[in-house]
Chain A
């Protein structure tokens, strides 16, 4: 087990417009489903610069990255 906080990625599938930017930016954490909407690639993650970038770059802000323990919003940051 690593000391890094466990993070949970969520995608608002109603908002998602399937730009695919996230899946290309952070392929370890986000994938594009066959229906053209993004989805988390795994239940929890340690996070990465790429994941933060993916959440910050989403054209419709459909992605959130939260601390699994506290629920604190890690990305996107204002």
Chain B
């Protein structure tokens, strides 16, 4: 089977959209095996997943210790030991503090008028191009790229180059280890040049402020500063693009609704009522996963001491997978049955994780998705998919899966 980031259509069996993937049922911790053959404890209950992700004895750095069992077949950028993702404790917080202030709800809220302006501009362009139109190249991809480029002052960034870097950086099976390493090396060189330039000529952007903060404390290595910089570029656009594309597949899937017309009614409501767009965004983030998770059954951690979770003692050295997708459907926390798209969540979902590694960009991602859905539905209340769901071309072989192209009509 061909799996390539650009030839998803070569798969003989049509892939189901992400909202139709079967998810694990929430239950007691169970044992499974990673594709590498390493045993893993899989956690699926909301309380267990949350506890594990916040537990100081379940770390990320320990996954890359010399005695650690193999957890990935082909390493990608998430396996970089210099990454904020793979540091723990005080060292991790030293890194996170350099950028945390830029990502609090208050800090992100200040960007709302500007982000709404970009969304409206892109939606206007889509409308002007006429029906039918392709929504990935015209909206779901350029929106997050424009936003992170503005935050990091990357205007003039070659988006084809960025696409090449991010596809390789998040590859699972799409590319060879050599191809991935070469792309990450080149991406790292770009990041390091950026760091050197902003250190010399600092501005008001996120890269300048993180370099300034890191240099003031002296607690970060140059490799960590560079890794954080390119990590922000990738995280700032890839996941939001994926989430936006999959949200549109979900919302516009004519087979989704329990009764005819329900899907169209929900779409219209998102366009008419900004508060409905906020609620729907939270429910979509909770229920539509970012990828197939063929590489691991959840967010991986490794115990540095014996840890009791969900009535099970996980021994020091064992690997744990926190299945946030299953936890987000835990019937103890969220009502089972048909999804009420506009119901408030009550308990925050675990989509952005929990604990020290809780997604830095959570509020930015929420805002981009909410504004994107609201303004698109407002401009095009009669929007529908122009391609049947089972003929959607997907980007595959990556950690995330989203439509490569999505034809829509109105």
| Residues of A in contact with B (beta carbons under 8 Å apart) | 14-15, 17-21, 24, 32, 35-37, 56-61, 76, 78
- Per the bound structure, the CA–CA distance linking A32 and B348 in Å amounts to 18
B347 contacts partner chain A, Cβ-Cβ < 8 Å? yes
B104, A56: Cβ atoms closer than 8 Å:
yes
Chain A-chain B contacts (Cβ-Cβ < 8 Å), number? 65
Within B196-243, which residues are at the interface with A (CB < 8 Å)? none
| Chain B contacts for A60, CB-based, 8 A | 105, 348, 358, 362
Give Cα A60 to B104, complex, Å: 7
Closest Cβ neighbor of B106 among chain A residues:
A78
How close is B74's CB to chain A, nearest CB, in angstroms?
30
Residue of A14, A20, A36 touching B348 (CB-CB under 8 A)? A14
Q: How far is the CB of A64 from chain B (nearest CB, A)?
A: 12
Which segment of B30-38, B95-103, B117-125, B318-326 sits at the interface? B95-103
User: Roughly how many angstroms separate A36 CA and B168 CA in the complex, as a whole number?
Assistant: 35
Interface size range of chain B in the complex: 20 to 34
Q: How far is the CB of B327 from chain A (nearest CB, A)?
A: 13
Complex formed: what's the CA distance from A20 to B53 in Å?
A: 11
Task: Give chain B's interface residues, CB within 8 Å of chain A.
Answer: 50-51, 53-56, 90, 93, 96-97, 100-101, 103-106, 347-348, 352-356, 358, 360, 362
Chosen A-B contacts, 13 in total, with CB atoms closer than 8 Å, are A17-B352, A20-B356, A24-B93, A35-B51, A36-B51, A36-B53, A36-B354, A36-B355, A57-B104, A59-B100, A60-B358, A61-B104, A61-B106
CB closest chain-B residue, reference A34: B51
B93 lies within 8 A of A21 (CB):
yes
9 A-B pairs with the lowest CB-CB distances in the bound complex, closest first: A36-B54, A18-B54, A17-B354, A17-B358, A61-B105, A18-B355, A57-B100, A19-B358, A20-B356
- A interface SS class: loop
Please report the C-alpha to C-alpha distance between residue A21 and residue B353 in the assembled complex, in whole angstroms. 15
Q: How far is the CB of A9 from chain B (nearest CB, A)?
A: 17
Bound-complex Cα distance A72 to B355 (A): 29
Does B355 lie within 8 Å of A59, measured CB to CB? Answer: no
A14 to B56, CA, bound (A): 20
Please give me the residue from chain A that is nearest to B47 by CB atom.
Answer: A35
Look across to chain A and name the residue whose beta carbon is closest to the beta carbon of B56: A20
